Amino acid sequence: MARITQVVVTCDLEDGDVSASDSISFAYGGKTYTLDLCKKHLDEVKNTLEGFANAGHTVGRGGRSRRRVAGGGRSSRSTSPAAAARGESQAEIREWARAQGYAVGDRGRIPGEVRAAYDAAQKGGRRR
């Protein structure tokens, strides 16, 4: 006697027994989710997520963000986004930090608290 077991995957967004055509996985709020979707909902979700994906950036190992640097090169940022928008370099941030009494090295990552203080000081010093 032979037995055949059949698994039917249905669309998570449809009521009833609508077969899923594909599964997608995504992360949100620190959790990873998977949706089994029929063709109709797969296209809908892909079109919606595509806009967000184009605006976002990929995440590599260990949850670290990877941003592309214009013109190639390393993927780490050399300045904070606010400082980069104003054209400031890490050297200028380090100089400011030392003048304010922060201990910062000549190389390596500038601590987040120093960047935040620098950005706050720059916002407070700007005139409209």
* CATH fold for domain 9-58: Wheat Germ Agglutinin (Isolectin 2); domain 1 (3.30.60)
As given in the structure block, the two tokens for residue 32 are 């990873």
Label residue 77 by pLDDT band (50, 70, 90).
very low
Note the pLDDT of residue 74: 44
Domain range 81-125, CATH class = few secondary structures
Residue-wise pLDDT for 36-61, tens only, equals 999 999 999 988 888 888 888 777 66
3-state secondary structure of 58: strand
Query: What is Dmax (Cα atoms) for the chain?
Result: 85
CATH 4.10.320 range(s) for the chain read 81-125
Distance CA 23, CA 34 (A): 7
Label residue 127 by pLDDT band (50, 70, 90).
very low
**pTM for the whole structure:** 0.43
Distance CA 22, CA 25 (A): 10
Q: Is the pLDDT of residue 91 over 90?
A: no
CATH 3.30.60.230 range(s) for the chain read 9-58
Distance CA 91, CA 46 (A): 43
